[in-house]
Chain A
Amino acid sequence: MLERIGARRVLLIAALGVAVLVGTVAATNLQTQAVYYLTPSEAKAQGVAVGQAIRLGGLVKMGSMSSADLRGGNDFRFVITDGSVDVQIVATGAIPGLLREGAGAVVEGAFVAEGSFHATQVIAKHDEVYTAPTAGATPAHRTAP
């Protein structure tokens, strides 16, 4: 009986050890190696080839977005920037209602030339701040179509 419990406790300590080990490896490596998207600067530095399928992410440049009536068509345009490199996006397909200038966005597609990207999927990023609309002020954007 005592031996059985002893073996179990050794197992317990071993399991905790494995958990800590796996956690440490995951914490140190995943953070840097799991890449969901590239910023325009990273894409430029890595020399992403024309036609190579990637995700590109950054901020939608102020004043760069096509008017709302072009949404869902084949020629919806905006610029994704990370502050130093700009990429002109031409998007086809549905555009999320939350996509807005000055906010984050991720696009899936491929470069058609340097600095020019064809997006087949546009994903809008939103922040973790929630607040009621202020009376009199026009909310920046709504999700409603």
Chain B
Amino acid sequence: MIETTFWRGSVPRVRPLLGTVAAASFVVASYMALVWAPTDAVQGDVYRILYVHVPLAWLAYLAFVIVFLASIGWLWTKRPVFDAIAVASAEIGVLFTGLFLVAGSIWAKPTWGVWWTWEPRLVTTAIMFVMYVGYLLLRGLSTDFSRRATRAAVFGIVAVIDVPIVHLSVLWANSLHQLPTVLRVAGSPALDTPMLVTLMVSLGAYTLIYAYFMSARVSLELARQGRLWTRT
């Protein structure tokens, strides 16, 4: 099969390089975020957590959209590699959603004045976190590979609906969270050019980290699947 040679041949060969590039770009992004980017006129230096918070949010969205696509892939083609991609992305997505919530909370305390409040963006994100923890728990309910993958795929397709809800929740009336800065409804991004460049570099660095984690986790899952089938 194509995926076997791809995941067992090309990916492990490229992985060390991918890891190095991801780590290097993370260092560059952190330097830009902490030193190079100017401070903010209203919030001061605390706004710099934006360069962590926004990339983590982006990765959470990306990871769960990948779960959705891989779930469709499994149901449509019945290729086990899609199930491996789905579980890998879900695990990484849960990790990044957790960090996203923590980073948001650390930002909220010095600006809003509270660690947490039951505001639409926060509530929908918490629901997203719990749903994908549930997705991982659901996978533990059956030892039959095909049944487990199918149940998980159905859940993975339905649960993705919270991703656009999370993103659009800031547009609801009477909410607290600020509106999107880059993907603005009206006009150009609402931040200075050096800030925008820093944010883009951070987004790239975090995406490389996601790619690195994925390459490692999918290979691990394929190895597990291999053991599962040699036993039966």
Contact = CB atoms under 8 A, between A and B. Distances in A.
Interface stretch (B169-177, B203-211, B217-225): B169-177
Contacts, number: 151
B164 A23 contact: yes
B76 interface: yes
Interface range on chain B (Cβ under 8 Å from partner) = 35 or more
Interface stretch (B41-49, B56-64, B132-140): B41-49
Contacts of B161: 19, 22-23, 26
B25 interface: no
Contacts of A94: 113
Interface string A95-108: 11111000000100
A89 interface: no
A98 B120 contact: no
B3 interface: no
Given A19-B161, A94-B113, A96-B112, A129 B191 contact: yes
Contact of A98 (B50, B111, B168): B111
Interface in B11-57: 38-44, 46-47, 50
Contacts of A49: none
Nearest to B68: A19
Nearest to A24: B161
B178 interface: yes
Contacts of A57: 174, 176
Interface residues of A, number: 52
A96 B43 CA distance: 11
Contact of A8 (B111, B150, B169): B150
A45 interface: no
A126 interface: yes
B78 interface: yes
A124 B112 contact: yes
Contacts of A18: 158
Interface of A: 4-5, 8-9, 11-12, 14-16, 18-19, 22-23, 26-27, 30-32, 34-39, 57, 94-99, 106, 121-134, 139-144
